[in-house]
Chain A
Amino acid sequence: MSQTSSLHEGSWHLHTVLEQSPGLRMLAETLSDLIDEGHPIVACTADLKYSNGLFRLQDRHPERFLQFGISEQNMVSAAAGLATTGQLPYVATFASFLALLCCEQIRTDVAYPGLPVRLIGHHAGITLGFYGTSHHATEDLAIMRSLAGLAVVAPADGHALAAALRVTIDHPGPIYFRIGRGRDPEVYADGIDFQLGKAIVHGSGSDLTLIATGSSVHPSLEAATRLRERGLSVGVIDVHTVKPLDEEAVLAAAATSRRLMTVEEHSILGGLGGAVAEVLATAGAATPLHRHGIRDEYAVIGPPTHLYRHYRLDADGIVAEVEELLAR
């Protein structure tokens, strides 16, 4: 992989994933460790073991790795069958294929019987940049969130992913994990107290609270730092569990902040923004909410970092979005 060093930061050629995606590396490492500890994990993939790094798990535990080839729907239903025999399947493929192509298999075969299948939707959001709309997943949170009995988790970095995988190992029901391409800057290098359904509050702010999930947590933290330097009081909440949502944390922010803004690499319809809006409206909270993310559109194509700039999902963009919001 000698070409890695010469690559521009905006590039994401698959061969570089292995070197440049520490977050994804945590997927295979954590699951392999958990197998070492005796958990009956079976890792399933659909011809993407290099993209999601599960080839490393195959190296360590070939007997607990299943290659399904390019048949995602078959893989999800088979994982449900595996779970009925006492195995703990982790099914990994691109989020676009998992949450959209396999939606019905997830609903009917996994969520409805409440089987402990873990669904790893990787390269979610617009991380597959110029591969185009077929490979973008800007609807997965909305779709997965609507399935009864399915928990939805979007860790901010590899450390959060590792903690989430470990903490939820004995969770009796199914979980959808939404992760990116594993190159998210570190948020939790010093550790994370991950509890399913419990948001992590990174300070409160009287002017604004940014409520972010997954890949949007790091840029939101950075944006908050810059906004504070300008004299604003800004808090950030990492909603790593989109479902069940930490309503208490959302309502606490609504009580202390003049404004709320959700930030997500996802459509503003039905995802984190939708979930927070539901909580606020149901509670009768009067705090205005601005939902920031992909509008009701299919994202343009381009290298991911360029797309983050275009859609104002990087720190600069979030700052600009906040400034516009406050100027209204």
Chain B
Amino acid sequence: MTPTAAEVALVEEKAQLSREETIRLIQIAKVGHFASAFSCAEILASLYYGVMRLRRGEPDWPDRDRFLFGKGHAAAALYPLLVDWGFFDPEILDGYTRIGNPLGDHPDMSRVPGIDFSSGSLGHALSAGVGMALGGRIDGRDFRVFVLLGDGELNEGQVWEAAMSAAHHETRNLIAIVDRNEYSLDGKVDDVLGIEPVGDKFAAFGWDVHEVDGHDVPSLLGLLRDVAEDGSRDRPAVIIAKTIKGKGVSFMEAELGWHLGYLVPEDEARALAEIRGTA
């Protein structure tokens, strides 16, 4: 179903919020995963503002849709959206990564309202998502479980154990999204440890496979909704979202080194201007 212009505008506005706040938070920490956060900004905004069933201010609502952040190193992109949903106080963002603050580089479910599962060690999230999907099914609840995986994360063997078990148990309420930004720390994923043909791999494991431009909000949002609402599917689904690492900031898109970094003040101003479209 094609989203309306207003729905697309809302997602784009929240993606911009995510990027702006990511810049601010990482400047507090003095180091962080800018480029990984930017590649998934539209994915997060689409899920949280166009797909997931959530209740404002009720992060523990039992029937909420679940989100697991496999590539948890991009958590800074999500925290501002959780604040926007009223899950915790905005002031907490100001102390991002400072001693005693609940918000770290990787999300912690015990400390951060709205985080459905802790992550940081790559490869676990899809398994935990399988467990959540099965847990809901045992109780006859109809929440959906969304798992955002990094493309480098697919190098982890446990992802494929989880993929096998999800298909075997027919967890049709489980939807994985691969942020296919093509880079991990040491270089291009396909140079470091190749994952292609990634769609064929998931298909061979028994999943429904879709591909989309992960920054084209009308297509991304439309596909995510269609897949989430598809009641006829008897298997899990994966969406390979083609993205650009560092999307939205030209010098991050151009340079590989931005997986983990820090901005000097001039670059911070440049980055914010580009994100806001005022450059």
Tell me the A residues contacting B by CB distance below 8 Å: 40, 42, 63-64, 66, 68-69, 71, 73-87, 89, 104-105, 108-109, 112-114
* Chain B contacts for A66, CB-based, 8 A: 134, 169
Q: Are B138 and A84 in contact (CB under 8 A)?
A: no
* B99, chain A: closest CB distance, angstroms: 19
Q: Are B161 and A74 in contact (CB under 8 A)?
A: yes
* Chain A contacts for B83, CB-based, 8 A: none
Q: Are A109 and B118 in contact (CB under 8 A)?
A: yes
* A327, chain B: closest CB distance, angstroms: 51
* B182, chain A: closest CB distance, angstroms: 26
* Chain B contacts for A85, CB-based, 8 A: 131-132, 135-136, 139, 141
Do A74 and B118 contact each other (CB < 8 Å), given the known contacts A63-B138, A86-B139? no
Q: Are A112 and B118 in contact (CB under 8 A)?
A: yes
* A245, chain B: closest CB distance, angstroms: 25
Residue of A with least CB distance to B136: A85
Cα-based distance from A309 to B156 in the complex (angstroms): 43
| Binding site secondary structure of chain A | helix
Q: Are B162 and A74 in contact (CB under 8 A)?
A: yes
Cα-based distance from A82 to B128 in the complex (angstroms): 7
Do A87 and B135 contact each other (CB < 8 Å), given the known contacts A77-B128, A77-B158? yes
* Chain B contacts for A74, CB-based, 8 A: 127, 130, 158, 161-162, 164-165
* Chain B contacts for A76, CB-based, 8 A: 127
Partner of A71, one of B118, B129, B164: B164
* Chain A contacts for B127, CB-based, 8 A: 73-78, 81, 105, 109
Q: Are B161 and A84 in contact (CB under 8 A)?
A: no
* A24, chain B: closest CB distance, angstroms: 25
Q: Are A112 and B135 in contact (CB under 8 A)?
A: no
* Chain A contacts for B125, CB-based, 8 A: 77
Cα-based distance from A307 to B63 in the complex (angstroms): 53
Cα-based distance from A78 to B123 in the complex (angstroms): 12
User: Is the CB of B247 closer than 8 A to any CB of chain A?
Assistant: no
* A32, chain B: closest CB distance, angstroms: 16
State the interface size on chain B (CB cutoff 8 A). 32
* B124, chain A: closest CB distance, angstroms: 5
User: Is the CB of B62 closer than 8 A to any CB of chain A?
Assistant: yes
Cα-based distance from A29 to B128 in the complex (angstroms): 27
* A206, chain B: closest CB distance, angstroms: 47
Cα-based distance from A76 to B124 in the complex (angstroms): 9
Partner of B130, one of A81, A89, A109: A81
Do A78 and B121 contact each other (CB < 8 Å), given the known contacts A42-B138, A73-B158, A85-B139? no
Residue of A with least CB distance to B120: A108
Q: Which 9 pairs between the two chains have the least Cβ-Cβ distance? A: A81-B131, A85-B135, A77-B127, A78-B131, A74-B161, A81-B128, A71-B161, A82-B131, A81-B132
Kindly identify, within residues 93 to 124 of chain B, every residue whose CB is under 8 Å from any CB belonging to chain A.
Answer: 108-110, 116-118, 120-121, 124
* B120, chain A: closest CB distance, angstroms: 7
Q: Are B138 and A109 in contact (CB under 8 A)?
A: no
Q: Are B124 and A71 in contact (CB under 8 A)?
A: no
* Chain A contacts for B138, CB-based, 8 A: 42, 63-64, 87
Q: Are B165 and A68 in contact (CB under 8 A)?
A: yes
Do A77 and B135 contact each other (CB < 8 Å), given the known contacts A71-B164, A113-B109, A114-B110? no
Partner of B135, one of A86, A104, A105, A109: A86
Partner of B124, one of A86, A105, A114: A105
User: Is the CB of B276 closer than 8 A to any CB of chain A?
Assistant: no
Q: Are B165 and A84 in contact (CB under 8 A)?
A: no
Partner of A79, one of B109, B131, B133: B131
* Chain A contacts for B134, CB-based, 8 A: 42, 66, 78, 81-82
* Chain A contacts for B116, CB-based, 8 A: 84
User: Is the CB of B55 closer than 8 A to any CB of chain A?
Assistant: no
User: Is the CB of B168 closer than 8 A to any CB of chain A?
Assistant: yes
Do A82 and B161 contact each other (CB < 8 Å), given the known contacts A42-B138, A114-B110? no
Which of A68, A86, A112 counts the most B-chain CB atoms under 10 A from its CB?
A68
Cα-based distance from A242 to B213 in the complex (angstroms): 53
Cα-based distance from A79 to B162 in the complex (angstroms): 12
* B174, chain A: closest CB distance, angstroms: 10
* Chain A contacts for B108, CB-based, 8 A: 113
Q: Are B62 and A86 in contact (CB under 8 A)?
A: yes
* Chain B contacts for A63, CB-based, 8 A: 138
Cα-based distance from A79 to B139 in the complex (angstroms): 15
Cα-based distance from A52 to B12 in the complex (angstroms): 53
Q: Are A84 and B132 in contact (CB under 8 A)?
A: yes
Q: Are B135 and A82 in contact (CB under 8 A)?
A: yes
* B144, chain A: closest CB distance, angstroms: 13
* A84, chain B: closest CB distance, angstroms: 6
Residue of B with least CB distance to A108: B121
Cα-based distance from A69 to B132 in the complex (angstroms): 18
Residue of B with least CB distance to A63: B138
* Chain B contacts for A42, CB-based, 8 A: 134-135, 138
* A116, chain B: closest CB distance, angstroms: 13
Q: Mark B129-165, 1 if CB is under 8 A from A, else 0.
A: 1111111101101000000000000000010011011
* Chain B contacts for A89, CB-based, 8 A: 131
* B24, chain A: closest CB distance, angstroms: 28
14 pairs from A and B in contact (CB 8 Å cutoff):
A42-B134, A42-B135, A74-B127, A74-B162, A74-B165, A78-B128, A78-B130, A78-B131, A78-B162, A81-B117, A81-B133, A84-B132, A85-B132, A105-B124
